[in-house]
Amino acid sequence: MAQPLNDEQGISLISSQKSTTEARFSTISACFNFVNSIIGSGVIGLPYALNQAGLPCGLLLLILVAFITGANSYQALVQSAFGFPGFFILSVLQFLYPFIAMISYNITTGDTLTKVFQRIPGVGPDHLFADRRFVIVISTVLCTLPLSLFRNIGKLGKVSLLSMVLTVVILIIVIIRAATLGPQISPTEDAWVFGKWNAVQAVGIMSFAFICHHNSFLIYGSLEQPTLTNWTRVTHISVGSALIISAVFAMSGYVTFKGYTQGDIFENYCKDDNLATFGRFCFGLSIITTFPLECFVTREVISNSICGRELSRVEHMSITVIIVGVCTAISMAYDCLGVVLELNGALSATPLIFIIPAACFLKLSPGCWYHCKNLIPTLLIVLGLFVMITGLTMTGLNPQDCSHGMEMFYCADANVSTNPPPV
């Protein structure tokens, strides 16, 4: 029977894939990258997840997903447990998740910044800067592609710090609008029930928001001192911080709009809301700075799984341009964020968070699956399969309505000011 690997052995397998000549970066830089990888476009879908699950049930699920997320990376561990088939499946998922995530980032950028530009005098609905496709192309050429061309993920630490600062600003704005705009929007039916049947779809969105397994080995490899103690500290600080920010963001967004909450929370705010416009601008910049983290992962999967070696400079640039270009093309053709979050959460994030780590533990752990220490991993596999199958089915049968670019009805209500008074 295979003997279980301890944490040091598992991490050493992962770090052995990385070149020892790469530059190393501080624990703080790693934390910034880790939190930034979690708090991407998924965070603006968390209020919608609470709408799907119910506020109390949704918060409990959010905490549960965050707790399960706090684990070490496991690409090499999967290969040692299940051989090439396991490594192949994991590599596909590790490519698929960030690839779809990048598409969602571009969708968010196009939806968000076009509304910002339309607040500029002289920029109307027919203006070039009001065209989401043009905005996506410009942001790709000027920002996301150049940042994605870096060869070491540690160099994105300062960029991730900027993203963190912007996220805090956005969070403050959402809280302010919960206090000033929320009371002016009448509550919907069953707005405060404990739980709803769509909780499974909510788990998919939360899994999308919290998945970080796919790039954790890259962040670990960037540590100046890649030890188990430092990595544990990075994991706990990053996931804990992301949970607090996500929970506050989700609650503030949901209590503002209740049952009207959409997959992209910024679609709920009125176009003439100046404070929300500033929030859209900050979020657009934040998403642009998060995109390169996902591109690093997709490129690394290609390097490890297909090429089997470190990419040359030409290969590095060519593969990066192809990845970014394909994501840009798809995001220009499709613009419904909620469905993208649900599908990616159920299809990619759920296996990466729930199923594969638990399966590795059972494979490498002595004893039968029904032993006490193996019961929790077994339950996680069952839960993951249930969430994955049910989430995909419910999303296919009952997809979220996409109201991209449409002004919400309450913006025209005489009782709701498009510029609520400041607190």
Domain ranges of the chain: 7-412
Please report the pLDDT score of residue 40 as a whole number. 62
Please report the pLDDT score of residue 171 as a whole number. 93
Please report the pLDDT score of residue 218 as a whole number. 67
- Which position has the token pair 């970066």? 25
Cβ(174)–Cβ(180) below 8 Å? no
Please report the pLDDT score of residue 68 as a whole number. 67
Cβ(297)–Cβ(90) below 8 Å? no
pLDDT in tens, 161-171: 888 889 899 99
Q: How many CA atoms lie within 13 A of 361 on its CB side?
A: 21
* CATH match for 7-412 among 3.90.1010.10, 1.20.120.420, 3.40.50.300, 1.20.1740.10: 1.20.1740.10
What does the alpha-carbon distance between residue 398 and residue 389 come to, in Å, rounded to a whole number?
A: 14
Amino acid at 175: I
What's this model's pTM, rounded to 2 decimal places? 0.77
Kindly tell me the burial class for residue 417, based on how many C-beta atoms sit within 10 Å of its own C-beta (0-12, 13-18, 19 or more): middle
Please report the pLDDT score of residue 35 as a whole number. 79
Task: Report residues of the chain scoring pLDDT below 70.
Answer: 1-26, 40-42, 68-77, 80, 208-209, 211-218, 337-338, 367, 369-370, 398-405, 413-423
Cβ(200)–Cβ(391) below 8 Å? yes
Kindly tell me the burial class for residue 326, based on how many C-beta atoms sit within 10 Å of its own C-beta (0-12, 13-18, 19 or more): middle
Amino acid at 10: G
Cβ(72)–Cβ(11) below 8 Å? yes
- Which position has the token pair 């709701």? 416
Please report the pLDDT score of residue 21 as a whole number. 38
